[in-house]
Structure 1
C-alpha cells in the first residue's frame, strides 16, 4: 500500500495496479509490518518497522544545526538501508552510538531500473550517431548553471555537432524553463518528466552544476562536466567560466583513462551495485530484522514534540 502526504504530492503518478490508503487512520488500521520512508521523518504512531530508504544521495548539505543533513538522526527509524560504503560506514558508527536502529547496505532501490534492460528508450535515436549531451540543473539561484549558460547552450545547439537533452529540477523558475523550451530544434529537446533514469541511460556526457542528479550519472561510469560546482572533486570535470564549457565537453567525450578511473573509484563508494536488485536486498534486510529475536537494545526516543507537530499536521488525534 502507498500513503502519500502533502500538497506537492501528485497522486496521478501511481500506476493502475498500485493501491493507496487515503488517510492516516486507514494506515493505522491496516497495521503494516514495515513502513518504507523516502523522507526524513515518519510518525511513531504508524505501526510497523520504520525503514529509511532515502530520497537521494549524500550531497554534503549542512543543516541549520551545522551537521550533515544526510546523517541527521531524528529518532524515527528502526532500520537504515544504505546505498554504499560512503553512507554505510558513518551510519554504522551512529548505530553504535544510539543503539536503537540497524544498518544494512542494500544499494538504492530508486536506481534498480538504471541497470535493467528496457524494451525501448524514447531518448535514444538509433539513426543519429552524434554524441548526446544531457544538461541538468538545480533550481537554487546561487547554484544553478541554467541562466548563466543559456547563450552558450543556444550557440552550441545551433551548430549541430551534438544532440542536446535538457531536464531541470521541478522547482526551476518558470522563466528559465520557458527560455530553454524556446530553444528546441532538431538538435535540442527539452524534457519534462518525473523519471530521469532513461535520460541518464541515453546520454554520453552530463552538463550540470551541483544538482545531486549528477551522482546518478557517475554511477553509470559516465563523465560529468560541472559549472562552478561547490565541491569540484577529481571525478568531476569542473569549469568556472562560460568560455571553458565547450572545450571541457570535448574533453569529457574523449574519455581519458585517468578520469575514468576516478569516476569508477567514486562510484564504488557511493553505490557499488549494478545488478538492479537493491529493492530485493531491502526486502531481505527488513525480513531478517522482523524475524530476528535479537531486537535493538534500546527503545527509540519518544519524540514528543515532533509527534505532536506531526499529529497536528495530519490532524490525527487517536491514541492507542
Structure 2
C-alpha cells in the first residue's frame, strides 16, 4: 500500500444492534483518515438507525465500485463475492448456546472468513485449534471493539436515564428464546420489588422478545422502573450496579466492568454468577450480589482475565492492525478458502445478484 493511501472498510450487518457493535471501530477508522461504509441486508435491520454522516451502500454493484479492503461482520455469514478480506468480529461473547446439531454456535465455522478477531484467551485457544484444523483463516486476539467505550468516557444517548439517585440500580436484560428467557418467569417478582422502591430498575430486552412480554414490562414503568428500547446497551451497563439476566452474552459485557451478575436458570451456571432457579429468591439473590462479597469478586476477576483482559479501550486499533497484517501479506494461510458454493448461491439469490465478474 502506498504511504498516505486511504483504506476503505465495509460493515456488513443484518441486525439493528450491529450499529453499536461496529461504531467504535468506525470511529477509529475515521480518526485514521480512512473511509467506512455500511451495507444492510435482510428485513431485521433498519436504515433509519444510520446517522446523517454515515455512508450506506445499497446495491452489490455499489459495493463492487467501493472496493473495500476489508469487510467487518458481526454476524455469521458474508458473501464471498464482496471484495476485501472478510473479518469476523462477533455479535457477542460466547454464551455457551448450543445449536440444533448439539454444537457451540460461537465456534461454528461457515467457510466465510479470512480472519477471526477474538475477544480473549478462552475463545482464542479454540479458534486457533480450528485454524490449524481448517488451514484457510487466521486468528488474532484483539479484544472486542464494541467494548472500547466502556473503558473510555461513555455518555448515555438517552439523557433522561441519567437520574440522580442514591439507590442501587438493577439492570434486567433477557434473551428472547422461549427456553432460556427469564422475563415471563420473573415478572411478578419484578412487579413487586419495583413497587417497593428499594432499588432503581432499568429493563432492556433483546429486540426479538415477544411483544406481549415487552408490553407486560412496559406496564410496570414508574419512578422506580424504566423500560428502555435502544440499539446501544453500553450506556445502560455503565449505569447499573448489578445485572439480572438468564443466558445471554450481554452477561459477559456487564461482567468485564467487574460488577456482579444474577442469573435465573442459566444453562451452565458458573462461580462468577449468582444463579437461582426459584423466582421467589430474586430479592435475596440481588441483595447478596450487591454486597459483592470477596469470593464472588475473585471469581469475576479470574473470569475476566480469560474472557476479555483488555482495559485500554484500544481493541479497535488492534483489529485494524491485524487486518493490515493480512493485507500486507504478513499473515498467510496454508490453504485457500473453500468456494462455499451452496451458501454463496443462497446469498446471491437473497441479494438478487448474478454477475460473476
TM-score category (smaller protein): over 0.9
TM-fit CA distance, 1:119? 4.9
State the TM-score, normalized to the length of structure 1: 0.96
Aligned residues: 319
Deviation at 1:294, TM superposition (A): 5.6
Alignment of 1:76-225 (within 5 A): 76-119=112-155, 122=159, 123-126=161-164, 128-225=165-262
Identify the match of residue 22 of structure 1 among 47, 54, 58: 58
Displacement of 1:238: 0.5
Task: Give me the TM-score of the superposition, normalised by structure 2.
Answer: 0.87
Partner of 2:9: none
2:98 matches 1:62: yes
Q: What is the CA distance between 1:89 and its match in structure 2? A: 0.5
Q: Quick one: distance in 1 between partners of 2:55 and 2:252?
A: 31
1:217–1:294 CA distance, 2 compared to 1 (3 A): closer
Matched-pair contact (CA < 8 Å) for 2:138–2:331: no
Q: Name the residue aligned to 1:308.
A: 345
Which 4+ stretches in 1 moved above 6 angstroms?
A: none
Residues 249-285 of structure 1: per-residue CA shift (max 9 Å, x gap): 1101111011011011111111111211111110011
CA distance in 2 between partners of 1:98 and 1:195 (Å): 35
Secondary structure of the structure 2 residue equivalent to 1:238: strand
Secondary structure at 2:55 match in 1: coil
Q: Distance in 2 between matches of 1:120 and 1:43?
A: 35
C-alpha displacement of 1:65: 2.9
- Partners of 2:177 and 2:154 in 1: CA distance: 33
1:107 partner SS: coil
What SS class does the counterpart of residue 56 from structure 2 fall into?
coil
* Counterpart among 39, 42, 47 of residue 75 in structure 2: 39
Aligned partners of 2:330, 2:127: CA distance in 1, in Å?
A: 22
* Change in CA separation of 1:209 and 1:29 when aligned onto 2, cut-off 3 Å: same
Q: How far 1:43 sits from its partner (Å)?
A: 1.2
C-alpha displacement of 1:120: 5.7
Q: How does 1:235-274 map to 2 (within 5 A)?
A: 235-274=272-311
Answer yes or no: is 1:4 the counterpart of 2:47. Answer: no
Give the secondary-structure state (helix, strand or coil) at the position aligned to 1:3. Answer: strand
Are the aligned partners of 2:118 and 2:124 in contact in 1 as well (CA < 8 Å)?
Answer: yes
Q: Deviations over 1:230-259 (max 9, x none)?
A: 111111001111111111111011110110
Report the CA distance between 1:28 and its aligned residue: 1.6
**Could you say if the C-alpha distance between residues 190 and 120 of structure 1 is closer, same or farther in structure 2, counting changes exceeding 3 Å?**
closer
Distance in 2 separating the partners of 1:130 and 1:83: 33
Cα distance change on mapping 1:275 and 1:174 into 2, 3 Å: same
* Structure 1: unaligned runs, 5 residues or longer: none
Partner of 1:13: 49
Matches of 2:112 and 2:233 in 1, distance apart? 29
Deviation at 1:44, TM superposition (A): 1.1
